Amino acid sequence: MDATGNPFTTTPRLGRYTIDSNSSSITFRSRHLFGLMPVRGTFVIRGGTIDLAEPLSESRLRVEIDAASFSTGNDHRDGDVRSAKFLDTDRHPLITFVSDSVDTTTVSGTLTACGVDRPASLSIVHSEVLADTFTVRVTTRVDRTEFGVTAAHGMAGRHLELTLKVTCVHT
């Protein structure tokens, strides 16, 4: 227990965890108008599972993101990004990440968006572990053109800086 009496530990228990989508989020930053203007927004994590194993390298995770949840607070831009010109959320409603490798600083795996699979690496920047839950914050940089999202060259930023804050509950 920590100084306040909370059941704090340094590593989560082994086993299966589900992602608490109500306590988890994805934020992103990008630039538009030829890189002059910042854009910030969010996606909603639909759900996922984490299987923690010993050794840690045997752990696996899967995260599902609702592609249509893309939001920057600008209805016109958000509609364009959800359209067939960009994310095509009618045909590709989910963005997924499935791990291949897990260690104490990085989660590597496959990111699937718009029906295209690409390798991705998530850097673990913070974690907090309690008795039956843990929260982790990871970051990554995604090049949208690698997923075939090439509309609005110059007007829309090529890269998205993503931060995922994921809370996991032991099942």
Q: pLDDT tens, 27-77?
A: 999 987 655 689 999 999 999 999 999 999 999 999 999 999 999 999 998
Residue 116 lies in a domain: yes
* CA 123 and chain centroid, separation: 11
Residue 2 lies in a domain: no
Residue 54 lies in a domain: yes
Residue 33 lies in a domain: yes
* CA 58 vs CA 10, 14, 72: distances in Å: 19, 11, 37
Residue 4 lies in a domain: no
Tens of pLDDT, residue by residue over 70-117, are 999 999 989 999 999 999 999 999 999 999 999 999 999 999 999 999
Residue 83 lies in a domain: yes
| Global confidence as pTM | 0.89
| Cβ neighbours of 14 (radius 10 Å) | 14
Print the domain residue range for 151. 15-170
Residue 8 lies in a domain: no
**Spatial separation of the C-alpha atoms in residues 50 and 59, rounded to whole Å:** 7
In this structure, what CATH number is given to the domain that contains residue 105?
2.40.128.110
Domain count for the chain: 1
Residue 7 lies in a domain: no
